[in-house]
Amino acid sequence: MDIEKLSDKIVAGDRRALARAITLVESSRADHRAEAAELIEVLSRKTDAQAIRIGLSGTPGVGKSTFIESFGKMLTGKGLRVAVLAVDPSSARSGGSILGDKTRMELLSRDPNAFIRPSPSGSHLGGVARRTREAVSLCEAAGFDVILVETVGVGQSETMVAEMSDLFVLLLAPAGGDELQGVKRGIMEIADIILVNKADGDLKPTAIRTCADYAGALRLLRKRAYDPEDFPKAMTVSALQRDGLEKAWGEMTALTEWRRENGHFDTRRAAQAQFWFEEEVKQALLAQLQTGIARDALVRIGADVAEGRATPTRAADRLLREIGALPR
Ligand SMILES: Nc1nc2c(ncn2[C@@H]2O[C@H](COP(=O)(O)OP(=O)(O)O)[C@@H](O)[C@H]2O)c(=O)[nH]1
Ligand SMILES: [Mg+2]
């Protein structure tokens, strides 16, 4: 593959080249991995285009797809180019991808200023997240103004998405008071903006109440250095009625501007790059454990542990010495 040529096409905004490049970063073949790594490096030299990367999370049924359709169309209506990606480690298992319901994104998927790519498949979150993160940088090099990264509210996937986003939006449904407990504190802590969706029709009063509850909960969290006075904040929207979306975008851009002006934007991206570097090292080391000598040692020494001939601690120490991860 001609990486030089492919990178030029991507920077020039060729969508097919972009799609091909994403297929390349999604491949697990060693030669493809090497080409993908080179491509991303070449692109980082060729362009310093910067998008606003928005992480979007919410449980199934909360209205993510509907929101992306409405919000995405609003953005393209402003002349902005929008890319939609996803991290969904369960997509391989459940059969249907997180972005599979394209019917809810019919207009956006046909919009020439939008690019929608379903989650790479795989049950291993680390691998899925890495491929999406690389797809984010490809879309950024391709000149997209806004990159939306969707994820479902399961396990660690929100943390991963937050680590590849400039701001993190949590979509919630109108609910009774006690359901506030259902949102894990860790998720609240990484949210920049909470959007209580479905604030329309009969649900509107409940949505307004839910929003006030979450605004209260956000105020109780520890102040973060990278937030202006009135963030994180909660607001209501209706993805279906396209209500509150302009306001939500206004808040997102205001927050991003403030962070840029105060140096937090760049600091955060630098910290994220470091996070992913460490993540790559960890993944590579873990992968080493699954190969050859290490695999054999795991099985052999593992049997000693199971049969009571060695304690877990001593056995781990022995294994690490055997494979050279600790001095013998
Ligand atoms: N009333 C109302 N229903 C909505 C709204 N947004 C989404 N829905 C409905 O909620 C259901 C789930 O929406 P969907 O976008 O597929 O949710 P996702 O699973 O989070 O992607 C669908 O029946 C939507 O029509 C909204 O703003 N108001
Ligand atoms: Mg959906």
- Residue whose Cα lies nearest atom 26 of ligand 1: it is 198
DSSP character at residue 125: H
Is the CB–ligand 1 distance for residue 103 below 6 Å? no
Whether the full predicted model's pTM is greater than 0.85, yes or no, is: yes
Across the range 122-130, mean pLDDT stands at 82
Quick one: which atom of ligand 1 is closest to the CA of 243? Answer: 27
Ligand 1 in reach of 66 Cβ (< 6 A): yes
Please indicate whether residue 104, judged by its CB atom, sits closer than 6 Å to ligand 1. Answer: yes
Q: How far apart are CA 106 and CA 90, in angstroms?
A: 23
Q: Does the CB atom of residue 101 touch ligand 1 within 6 A?
A: yes
| 91 close to ligand 1 (CB < 6 Angstrom) | no
- In this predicted structure, the answer to whether residue 52 has a pLDDT above a threshold of 60 is yes
Q: What is the pLDDT of residue 3?
A: 96
Task: Read off the pLDDT of each residue in 131-156 and give the average, rounded to a whole number.
Answer: 91
What Å distances lie between residue 88 and 34, 115, 125, 275, CA to CA?
A: 24, 18, 8, 20
Sequence-separated (6 or more) residues with CB below 8 Å from residue 156: 125
HSE-CB of 15 using CA atoms within 13 angstroms: 11
* Phi (first) and psi of residue 16, to 5 degrees: -70, -35
Regarding predicted confidence, which is higher, 262 or 126? 262
Q: How far is the CA of 28 from the centre of ligand 2 (A)?
A: 26
pLDDT tens digits for range 58-113: 988 899 999 999 999 999 999 999 999 988 877 554 544 555 566 778 899 999 99
In the predicted structure, residue 154 carries a pLDDT above the cut 80:
no
Q: How far away, in angstroms, is 204 Cα from ligand 2 center?
A: 22
- Residue 34 pLDDT more than 50? yes
With a cut of 70, say whether residue 247 has pLDDT above it: yes
Q: Which of 76-90, 179-193, 252-266, 274-288 has the lowest mean pLDDT?
A: 179-193
CA-proximal residue: ligand 1, atom 11 (nearest): 61
CA-to-CA dists, residue 23 to 7, 18, 121, 178, 286, angstroms:
14, 9, 12, 44, 24
Give the number of other CB atoms < 10 A from CB of residue 286. 11
Amino acid present at 30: A
- What percentage of the chain exceeds 90 in pLDDT? 73
- Alpha carbon 47 to its chain centroid, in Å, reads 22
Distance CA 104, CA 120 (A): 20
Atom of ligand 1 nearest to the CA of 98: 21
Nearest to 1 by CA among 32, 44, 40: 32
Cα 147 to ligand 1 centroid, rounded to whole Å = 21
Give the residue, by CA position, lying nearest to ligand 1 atom 24.
63
Bond before 232 cis per omega within 30 degrees: yes
pLDDT value of residue 41: 96
Q: Give dist(CA 235, CA 246) in Å, integer.
A: 12
Q: Contact at 8 Å (CB) between 183 and 292?
A: no
DSSP class of residue 222 equals: P
- Among 151-160, 164-173, 246-255, the range scoring the smallest mean pLDDT is 151-160
Three-state DSSP string of 227-293: CCCCCCEEEECECCCCECHHHHHHHHHHHHHHHHHCCHHHHHHHHHHHHHHHHHHHHHHHHHHCCHH
Rounded Cα distance, 280 and 302, in Å: 26
SS3 169: strand
Q: Is 58 in the pocket of ligand 1 (CB under 6 A)?
A: yes
Distance CA 103, CA 129 (A): 25
Q: Which of 208, 240, 241, 243 to mutate to test the pocket of ligand 1 (most atoms within 8 A of CB)?
A: 240
Among 126, 69, 122, smallest CA distance to 99 is for 69
Burial status of residue 82 (CB atoms within 10 A of its CB: 0-12, 13-18, 19 or more): buried
